[in-house]
Structure 1
Amino acid sequence: MFVTENLNKIPELVEQGIFTEKLKKKLAQKFVNLEATLLRAKVLRELSKVKVDYIIQSAIQPEQASLAYLFAPFVIGNLNINIIYHSQATKTVLNVLNRYYQVEKKPYLKVDDVLQALNIYLDLHDNDLDEVEFFYYAMFNALCRADVTQIYLITNLKLNAQKIETIELFFKIKIHLISTEPSDKIINSTELNMRQLLFKRKDQQYIELCEKFSKLNSQLLSLSGRYTPLQAKQLVEDMFYAEHIYEKLSVYAEYVQTSLQNTGSSNSITFLA
């Protein structure tokens, strides 16, 4: 696929995964010359003054505990770290975020402008790609950004660890794999009480749910190398009780809604948390 040998490791990351013609066409629509873009990002990465973390999460299905990671960008953004979160706009994701802004309506937003203003950008992809196709599409998007220095792969796909290491060394980038278990269940997202989840007062059910969400997010945060596991645990737990996640989510939602209103494609929305 590529002239540069090491780049051919990327389409081989998913074990027994097929790099489809559909995916190739979609990448060609976005990148005029994908190989040149990848190599340019590799060269410019060391020169980039801006540093960005990039989360790639496989589709979150109903009742999956991996929903916890939907809050990871708001945790990381609160720590003044630039973060892009890339996942698919499943019903589970929409059930949560549509309470704050109209996810399906996509205003034209410049990623770099949003990052500069808020430290966060949510890239929620339509469900036109299967799990493997989406993984590769998101991975190429991440590697094509010269400012991305760390990538978190949150997935239940089986990935080739040796090829991940090769890509890390070639691109001079850190890649963290977080394996998820689809059978790890929580309550359905339609039943989530966001006020109990994100505010201080919680009953026993939400105390336990926040412990679970905090544990998963603190493990992700500690992978960055910026915080010890204990520091990460304390930071994340505090955010779930001190309304910091809600505040960051609300600011992001207001930014998107304002952009929608400025383009004349939105009605006002009331926050439900």
Structure 2
Amino acid sequence: MFITASLNTIPDIVKNGYFSEQLEKKLAQQYVNLEATLLRAKVLRELSKAKVHYIIQSAIQDEQSSLAFLFSPFILANLNQTIIYHSQGTRSVFNILNRYYQVEQKQNLKIDDVLEALNIYLDLSDTSLNDVDFFYCSLIKALCRTDVSQIFLVTGLALDTQKMAELEQYFKVKIHYIRTNPQDAIIDSSKWNMRKLFFKNKDEQYIALCEKFATMNAQLLLKYGSYNQEQAIQLVEDMFYAEHIYEKLSVYAEYMQTCLQHGVSRNQAIFLA
């Protein structure tokens, strides 16, 4: 696909996966010259002062425990990291976020503007791509950013770690692989009691859920090398009790909802005129 040999590592990362014709057409529409964009980002990345951490998560279906990672951008933001979280807008994701803002409503917002204001951006794509195509599309999108310093790949797909290491070395960006288990089930997100999840008063069910979520999200913290496993789990679990995740989510939701309302008002004014 690429002329530069090192870039041809990208389509080989997913074991038994490949770039579909649909994906190639999509990339051709999004990028005038994808190879040049990737190479330019590689050069400018070393000069960038900004450090963005990019989380790519495969589609989360109903009752999958991997929904725990939806909270990872808010957890890392509490540790003063700048985060882009990219996943697909599935029902389980909307079940959570729609309680706080109209997440399904399309917005004309620049990612960098939101990052400058909040240090968090949730990029929730449509669900038209299959898992492999979404993975590759998201990875390329991350590698095209000049400010990305770390990429977290949260997926049930089997990845070639040797190819990942080659890509990591070539692009001078750290790439972490966190494999999820699609068969690991939890209660349906539509039935969650968010106050029990985010606040101190929890019954046994939510104590166990928060312990599970803390253990899963601790995997991201361990990649930084600043914590051991026990410290990482305890730190994340404390955030579920001390309302820190709720506070970050609330601020993000308020910002996005305000942007939505202003956008609607502006569009209505134009229509009425």
Q: Give the TM-score normalised by the residue count of structure 1.
A: 0.95
Identify the residue that residue 231 of structure 2 maps to in structure 1.
231
- Choose 19-28 or 130-139, whichever is displaced more: 19-28
Q: Is 2:61 aligned against 1:61?
A: yes
Paired residue total: 266
| Identical counterparts, % of pairs | 65
1:99 and 2:99 aligned? yes
Judge conservation of contact 1:13–1:159 (CA < 8 Å) in 2: yes
Give yes or no for the alignment of 1:264 onto 2:241: no
Paired with 1:265 and 1:155, the residues of 2 have a C-alpha distance of 39
Deviation at 1:265, TM superposition (A): 6.5
Residues of 2 paired with 1:122 and 1:238: CA distance?
Answer: 23
Partner deviation per Cα, 1:93-139 (whole Å, 9 max, x = no partner):
01111111111112111111111111100000000101100000000
Stretch deviating more after TM superposition (101-110 or 44-53): 101-110
Give the TM-score normalised by the residue count of structure 2: 0.95
Residue 37 of structure 2 corresponds to: 37
Q: Is the Cα contact below 8 Å between 1:150 and 1:224 reproduced in 2?
A: no
CA separation in 2, counterparts of 1:231 and 1:106? 39
Runs of 5+ in structure 1 lacking a partner?
267-273
Tell me, in whole angstroms, the C-alpha distance in 1 between the residues paired with 2:114 and 2:227.
Answer: 25
| Alpha-carbon contact 2:54-2:86 (below 8 Å) kept | yes
The answer to whether the 8 A contact 2:178-2:219 is kept is no
Partner of 2:173: 173
Instruction: Work out the CA distance in 1 between the residues paired with 2:84 and 2:220.
Output: 14
Residue 270 of structure 1 aligns with which residue?
none
CA distance in 1, matches of 2:231, 2:265: 42
Name the structure 2 match of 1:11.
11
1:118-166 Cα shifts (integer Å, max 9, x gaps)? 1100000000101100000000000001111111101111111111011
Residue 178 of structure 2 aligns to which amino acid in structure 1? I
Task: Please state how far the C-alpha of 1:11 moved relative to its aligned partner.
Answer: 1.0
Q: Residue 247 of structure 2 aligns with which residue?
A: 247
d(CA) in 1 for partners of 2:25, 2:224: 33
Aligned Cα root-mean-square deviation (Å): 1.2
Q: Is the 8 A contact 1:152 1:178 kept in 2?
A: yes
Distance (Å, rounded) in 2 between the aligned partners of 1:27 and 1:193:
40
Pairing 1:1-273 to 2, within 5 Å after superposition:
1-264=1-264
> CA 1:126 to 1:117, structure 2 compared with 1: closer, same or farther past 3 Å?
same
Q: Aligned partners of 1:155 and 1:258: how far apart in 2? A: 32
Give distance in 1, aligned partners of 2:115 and 2:221: 19
Q: Show structure 2 runs of 5+ residues with no match.
A: 267-273
2:271 equivalent in structure 1: none
Superposed CA offset, 1:45-95 (max 9, x none): 111000011000000011111010000000011111000000000101011
Residues in 2 aligned to 1:265 and 1:235: alpha-carbon distance in whole angstroms:
41
